[in-house]
A and B are shown apart, each in its own frame.
Chain A
Amino acid sequence: MGVESGAIPVKAGRMGSLVSKARAWYSGVPLLGWLLGVLVAVALEHILGRRVARALGMSKEPVLFGFVTMLRDPALLPSAVLYVLLIYLLPIAAVARLTAQLTNRLAATLLSLSSGVSSAVHLGLIYGALHLWSDLSDYRLLLVRLTLIAIMVTLSLNLVNGYMGEFSCSHPGFMALGAYTASVFTVILFVDDRVFGAPLLALPPLLGQFVFPIALILGGVVAALGALLVAVPSFRTRGDYLAIVSLAFMFIVKSLIENLEIVGGPRGLQGQPDWANLPTVFLWAVACIWIINNFVRSTLGKALNAVRDGEMAANAMTVDTRRTKMVAFLFAAFWAGVAGGLFAHVLRYVNPGTFDLKKLAEVLAMVYLGGLNSVMGSIVGAVGFNLLSEALRPLQIIKWMIIPVLLILVMIFRPTGLIAFREFDVQELIRPKGEPQQH
């Protein structure tokens, strides 16, 4: 007894000190260093991935950090783990640590130029890593783009359900409006379509990149107009009308499109031009995060929190609470609409069945998993949910038991989500980190 109870703390202590040592060892690595590490790892996969995979007995690089591989064929588990270790973890850890001094100095220099320049360089590295990683398979390219779009949808819903504390269910409806508006616009104008006939404007394909933003913004605006229909009755009186009205709205939009033969009815609409490539989706996602984060950190945006935590007091403190709610709701719908437009052009096909209760459940799950009232939470929620959902795909039906159980666990242990009520401070993220402590 005495020996055992003595042995365990020693062991835990050793483990603990190892962890804290590693943490101290890496506390001096700035974000720039980590991103550099990731970029190197991804580049390494580009060059050596195939050979390493073959050497480990796999036919090609594991597509999603080995998860899919090992779930399909458990015998390959050691190979998959080894691959992830060799290609991703070790190089990232090594590069991040070894270049820490350099990246710290670089981060300081960049920040002294301007935080805009520094942010741009960080974003460049992120884009570079995503580009190289998704270059290896079409599946990855699709997954990255859909995840970026999911971030936009999640963040915009967080604005309403988290920052403003209402419960809205109409986001799939707004996405549908955006998806169809943008699609109809691009298909009529620029594509030789069966239904809509020859393109009204025959543009050289390169120019599409300049017209596409118009289509997306148009989709966002139509979604915002739809939001107006929900907002006017819901926000006129106090009480929880929004949940019901917005749910009804989602179903109405879906059945409206199903009955609209001109856009294909339940069969859907296809043939969207291939304009939603990775850089385009990436830029829109960055714009969405940047603008929403600006908004929620301004005093005008903080009014949403005051409305949530005490509408009456907010009103007595000069806040026009109805206007605040309207603006936030329409703004959120706009971004859902833009995301919908991107979604339709990534898949180059859209049908009304996509925007149903299942979609709603997914979006809500991402918001509540990631964390209410938090930009970082929405990013983590969307990325986490999408990766998890893809990684568990080989389990088929069991996947839909594991994911809800995980969600319930999160709700029990972290009722407001993983990273809730946190400010997303870019300045803080990109600053150089102090020298690691000496031991």
Chain B
Amino acid sequence: MPSLQVEGMTHYFGGLRAVHGYDLRVEPGQIRGLIGPNGAGKTTIFNLVTGRYTPTEGRITLEGEEITGLEPHKIASKGLGRTYQNLRLWRHMTVLEHVKLARYSKIGYGLVGAFFGTSRRHREEAEIEERANTLLELVGARHFADQVVTSLPYGAQRRVELARALATEPKILLLDEPTAGMNLEELVQMMDIVRRIHDELGLAIFLIEHRMKIVMELCDVIQTLVFGQVIAEGTPNEIQRNPAVIDAYLGKDVVT
């Protein structure tokens, strides 16, 4: 059974057809790449899969279970984690609070625990905190735990977002340009981390990326999207040699 499967997904923004007849099949443990020029509809695909928008047409399943049209928080708690192209962190909250909060749907102590500070709540909060610290360790942000997130360097903020997504216990992780705006050092670090979470947690990963080197190195299979439609799908080698891709995308942009 594929981790994530999308069949015949089409989405309109008013008159604009942002995604057209999109199909996807991500196998467990696979790393998938999605490339394409600006405005091709890549982020829109993420927003559709995560439930932010409901597709005009099409069917989305997560490990065989249909999730089309569900609310984002329900989809997320079923095992779909994501990060954002432009960071979406909570500006008054600490790093640790970010990661803890992503375990919201797993909290069992309920309002009684929240209001009266029951022993069950203290136990669960301690567990959540331990788990959050492990994840922060994994992305190398443990030492920032008690800082407000806006005080962190940019690269570290991206890693916090990653840890937060991991805290939802995803079966598949969606990364929207995880290295956007990073310097070389941060970029190398991020690639290491992505590899490590893939190996250690055994997740499937689906990522959008503009830097070809990264996509080519990390991904098993890559899709190229142009004007909302997939024009090519294949291994990094196949994609690099595909004339349509070179024409539409690689040729014009940089082959870095």
Residues of A within 8 A of B (CB): 291, 294-295, 298-303, 305-306, 308-310, 312-321, 327, 373, 421
Chain A hits for B115, CB < 8 A:
291, 294-295
Residues of B within 8 A of A (CB): 50, 52, 71-73, 76-77, 82, 84, 88-93, 97, 100-107, 109-111, 113-117, 121, 125, 128, 164-165, 167-168
Q: Is the CB of A316 within 8 A of B76?
A: yes
How many A-B contacts if CB must be within 8 Å? Answer: 103
Chain B hits for A321, CB < 8 A:
73
Q: Is the CB of A318 within 8 A of B52?
A: no
Given A298-B114, A298-B121, A316-B50: A303 touches B104 (CB 8 Å cut-off): yes
Q: Is the CB of A318 within 8 A of B84?
A: no
Q: Is the CB of A305 within 8 A of B90?
A: yes
Chain B hits for A312, CB < 8 A:
52, 72, 88
Residue from A295, A303, A308, A319 having most chain B Cβ neighbours under 10 A: A319
Chain A hits for B104, CB < 8 A:
299-300, 303, 317-320
Query: What does DSSP make chain A's interface, helix, strand, loop or mixed?
Result: helix
Q: Is the CB of A306 within 8 A of B101?
A: yes
Closest CB of chain B to A384's CB: distance in Å?
23
Q: Is the CB of A318 within 8 A of B93?
A: no
A225 to B101, alpha carbons, bound, how many Å? 28
Q: Supply 13 further A-B pairs (C-beta < 8 A) apart from A298-B117, A312-B52.
A: A294-B115, A294-B116, A299-B107, A299-B125, A300-B111, A309-B90, A309-B92, A310-B91, A315-B71, A316-B76, A318-B106, A320-B104, A373-B92
Q: Is the CB of B101 within 8 A of A303?
A: yes
Q: Is the CB of B91 within 8 A of A309?
A: yes
Q: Is the CB of B100 within 8 A of A302?
A: yes
Closest CB of chain B to A277's CB: distance in Å?
25
Closest CB of chain B to A415's CB: distance in Å?
13
A295 to B202, alpha carbons, bound, how many Å? 35
Closest CB of chain B to A328's CB: distance in Å?
11
A258 to B100, alpha carbons, bound, how many Å? 48
Q: Which one of B105, B110, B121 contacts A318 once the chains associate, using CB atoms below 8 Å?
A: B105
Can you pick out 15 interface pairs between chain A and chain B where the beta carbons lie within 8 Å of each other?
A: A295-B114, A298-B113, A300-B104, A300-B109, A300-B113, A310-B89, A314-B101, A315-B73, A316-B72, A317-B76, A318-B104, A319-B101, A320-B73, A327-B111, A421-B92
A319 to B73, alpha carbons, bound, how many Å? 6
